[in-house]
Amino acid sequence: MTSPNFSGEPPHRVVVIGGGPAAHRFAESMHSRRAQEGSRDVTVTVLGEEIHLPYDRVALSRRLVSSEDLTLGDRELWNSPGITYRGGVAASRVDLEERSVELADGSTVPYDDLVFATGSAATVPPIPGASQGYVYRTLEDVDFLVAESARLAAQLGRPAHVVVVGGGLLGLEAAGGLQRLGARATIVHSGRWLMSAQLDEGAGQALGRLIEAQGVTLALGNRPTQVLTGPSGRVLGVELTDGRAISADLVVFSIGITPRDELARAAGLAIGARGGIVIGDDCSSSHDGVWAIGEVASVGGVCVGLVAPANAMAEVVADRIHQGEASFPGIDDATKLKLSGVEVASFGDALGASEGALEVVYADPARGMYQKIVVSNDAKTLLGGIFVGDAAPYTALRPLLGRELPAEPSAYLSAAGVEAPASAELPDDVQLCSCNNVSVGAVRGAIRGDHGEACTELGPLKTCTRAGTQCGSCVPLVKKILETELSKAGIEVSKALCEHVDLSRSELFEAVRILQLTSYEQIMQHFGRGLGCDVCKPVMASILATQTSKYILDSGSGALQDTNDRALANMQKDGTYSVVPRIPGGEITPAKLKVIAEVAEQFNLYTKLTGGLRIDMFGARLEQLPDIWRILVDAGFESGQAYGKSLRTVKSCVGSTWCRFGVQDAVAMAIELELRYRGLRSPHKFKLGVSGCARECAEARSKDIGIIATEQGWNLYVGGNGGYQPAHALLLAQDLDDKTLIAYIDRYLMYYIRTADRLQRTARWQEELPGGLDHVRDVVCNDSLGLAEELEAAMAQHVGNYEDEWAATLNDPERLRRFRSFVNAPRTPDPAVVQVTERDQPRPARAEERAAATAERVLVSGPSIPVRRGQ
């Protein structure tokens, strides 16, 4: 098919060898140019060795735990005029003189321009037994490792022992993914710390602590000397340079990449000293009409396995074939990933190699937090950075690389609990999305509709600009620019709760309060449409619980709740529940400790101390919960917390009661606060901490509300939290007496509950309020809105109307009917619950143990372990 602006001459034939992400980007770029006035009539044929369409190799780790389709972009690209994909076909020879590619099946494909996008292969070390190991580069590799891990586990009757050689990006993903599948993973890495090519020692050590905390074993500063095998060829282990031998059933090599340059080398193209096709700034090779992009291209003697440079090369070659003058801007090695659930990011001169570079560092080894910002010797120009554990600053800092920071470097160290400065408006020429080379100006232009229809929603904006469509790390900034531009244009930015409710959570809260609505039906009648969804229903249930103080499962509210709220307990991975008796302030008598021990023994529950000074008991079936609650209630306990979006715990040290450093009674204050705020529903869970002196043994500043004793009273900190985005609480008021302290906390919590968005923690809520902490201080301490009396009255209503949810359940036969696995057999245990005993405690059975549970016993790592079905 020929475009109307084409001359009618035979189309210019472009052949691409390789079907990976670089080839996909090139095909996309060539396709987008077909519609441009004056463009050449070009056909593109992509020859893929794998049968799959090009897929996202960066996301391979997701394939370890799901069958997710990783295909890049819109599949319709390959049905477009002039674009052809031939999968499952290998190129065997390139004839530069004849300008043709010979395929493995004997056919040939002629070309006018040839693009090498052959990528790279996983490097395998030249050691004895290496042929018995496997690599981690393709979909087939990943699917095989999943199947082989399961096969070995079933054959051996225990989890497979996997040794991953290589502590880089792919090695960590492979180890983490296989660990999540139930294998026992060990990483062998030649460096003294993980990701030693991208991270400095401090960051690598922090990453190592986080990876080890997930159960992955590390053998650092070591290389394998041989893969040990038995007489049948079965892998037995790996011998290391320090003389140790690690047992292994499966060995995976992930030690680097080797460019797939064999075809180019045989054809006579110039090859770099370390491999790869040598290219110039225009991505051309040593032979006219032959180009190289992606991992096979050697730039300055280096082949790079990152998305952004490959995409940039693809765009340059597409432009040059259409007779443009684009040049490769250089290697951008910025990286932001989530490895085994751990955030890691680096960009620019992350290792501080620039002359005169200064490094501003925050390190918290205990939490596995490390943040470093590299700046020029005058501490003004941003040169690079590294973030481990908390990569929140990356999004704001990455576009400012090479520019003057609008604030002190230390202001961006979020892990230290500092309040980040408000972002200055970024210039149009700043690169927003490095993966796809999209500038801030291009995003703003798309929002305004400079070259077509305006993109005023995030989804279409990502599609039309490509920003945020690859690694996704720039999406928060794209969203912020969208909202800013819409506001400038006078277009209201939607804050609708969901498709069924146009109000935001805070607007809905106020509307329900003012109209004194008391049911879901009333709310939907006034403000909703349709049947509601999993977003709006729990929000309405939470709002009703806060304002009416009714039993949360009554009046039709039960069906609105999340799974945990419906069961008044936290569901675990095997379908059982955990029970966490409330222990206000962490203070407990020996008699009550004995009751907890008796419950755990009677119901054979796994028992563990939590980080909030509580005792958690796991493994209770739904129908067992009332029996457990009965014993606890009779002993003076509430079942407690750890399931709802409400108060979890108030942690305390021993304070002045026992400690020689304590200056206030931290225990008494913690107990008073926990009993006051128990059961209080809120936009997200929240926690408090009370420390009896400045030594801070209760870690109060890591809590949503932290109270630290002084000789004059209490210092009140607000807006801290752990979890996905840790933040230290900030000082709100100093030297408060007991009455004032409680009044301020009442006001703070009720103001948060009224105005925060759905699932917004206090830290993020404070940050996004106009005026931030100063505004909170004005409202809470100075009563700038005149709401103090109203907020305190709302809290007093909650305190006065509080009802023990678990005791209320036990006293009503109708409510008890909810707690049974089977309607017709209320006491029958769920046969899907299979547990085994380990370290003298029950735990959920792994997949291979569950499969073998048709017998009464299963072999796990040596001795037999009894299988427990139900109870």
Binding site members: 653, 659, 693, 697
What whole-number distance in Å separates Cα of residue 705 and Cα of residue 714? Answer: 12
Tell how strand 290-292 and strand 113-116 pair up.
Answer: parallel
E strand residue ranges, 215-315: 217-220, 224-229, 235-240, 245-247, 250-253, 257-259, 277-278, 290-292, 297-298
785 vs 775: CA distance, rounded Å: 10
Report how far residue 187's alpha carbon sits from residue 731's, in angstroms, rounded to the nearest whole number: 42
How far from 791 is each of 680, 796, 802, CA to CA, in Å? 14, 9, 17
Task: With beta carbons less than 8 A apart as the criterion, state whether 246 and 237 touch.
Answer: yes
**Contact status, residue 179 vs residue 185, Cβ threshold 8 Å:** yes
Token pair of 435, please?
């993966």
Q: Give the Cα separation of 721 and 701 in Å (integer).
A: 8
Q: Could you tell me the two tokens for 792?
A: 């305190």
Residues 20 and 429: their CA atoms lie apart, in Å, by 30
Residue 225, φ and ψ in degrees, nearest 5: -100, -25
Across the strands, what pairs with 293?
none
**663 secondary structure, DSSP code:** -
Do residues 464 and 445 lie in contact, with contact meaning Cβ atoms separated by under 8 Å?
A: no
For residues 860 and 871, give the distance between their C-alpha atoms in angstroms, rounded to a whole number.
20
Q: Please, are residues 499 and 532 in contact by the beta-carbon 8 Å criterion?
A: no
Measure the CA–CA gap between 606 and 578, rounded to whole angstroms: 9
CA dist 180 and 779 (Å) reads: 46
The answer for 793, left when phi > 0, alpha when psi is -120 to 50, beta otherwise, is alpha
* b/e sequence 425-445, b meaning 16+ C-beta within 10 Å: ebeeeebbbbbbbbbbebbbb
Which residue bears the tokens 């796990």?
860
Cβ atoms of 292 and 271 closer than 8 Å = no
Strand 12-17 relative to strand 713-718: parallel, antiparallel, unpaired?
A: unpaired
Sheet holding 834-838, edge to edge: 841-844, 834-838, 864-869, 857-859
Token pair of 744, please?
A: 């301020």
Does residue 429 sit in helix, strand or coil? coil
- Distances, alpha carbon 683 to alpha carbons 319, 756, 761, in Å: 50, 7, 7
How far is residue 558's CA from residue 547's CA, in Å, rounded to a whole number?
16
- In whole angstroms, give the CA distance from residue 137 to residue 158: 27
For the annotated binding site for siroheme, the residues are 697
Distance of CA 813 to CAs 600, 638, 797, 810, 819, Å? Answer: 25, 19, 28, 7, 10
* DSSP, res 505: H
Contact 193, 330 (CB under 8 A): no
H/E element, 750 = helix 738-755
**Is residue 351 a contact partner of residue 345, using CB atoms and an 8 Å limit?**
no
DSSP sequence for 38-74: T---EEEEEEESSSSPPB-GGGHHHHHHS----B-S-
Annotated binding site for [4Fe-4S] cluster: 653, 659, 693, 697
Secondary structure (3-state) at 727: strand
Residue whose entry in the numeric block shows the structure tokens 């590390």: 218
Give CA–CA dist 277/290, Å, rounded. Answer: 10
